[in-house]
Amino acid sequence: MLNFDNAVLDAFLENQTKLFPEEVAATREEADDFLTEVMAVVVDSPKEVWQYFDEECIDTEGADESEILEADEVFAIPDGRYLIVEG
């Protein structure tokens, strides 16, 4: 059983090279294993992305919402959620 749903896995597979120099997963199963291993999280809104960055003490000083959402660690899911993967 997968820990992440297909929308999350597909978004990660399609965009993983924005965070990593080469692909770290080729299939949904590999992506799920990788995301589970690195303790990636899925949040429901830009506000929750911001809260996650604050809780993890990631420097957001001077950044606006669009810059936060465009961070390499943040992957937009087509349904409006966001996957956060710390490289």
Please write the tens of the pLDDT for every residue from 31-61: 999 999 999 999 999 999 999 999 998 888 8
41-43 β-sheet, strand order: 41-43, 82-84, 74-76
Query: Average per-residue pLDDT in the chain?
Result: 94
**Where are the domains positioned within the chain?**
6-84
**Is the pLDDT confidence value at 16 over 90?**
yes
pLDDT score, position 65: 85
- Report residue 87's pLDDT band, with 50, 70 and 90 as the boundaries: low
Buried b (16+ CB within 10 A) or exposed e, 25-44: beebeebbebbeeeebebbe
pTM of the model: 0.91
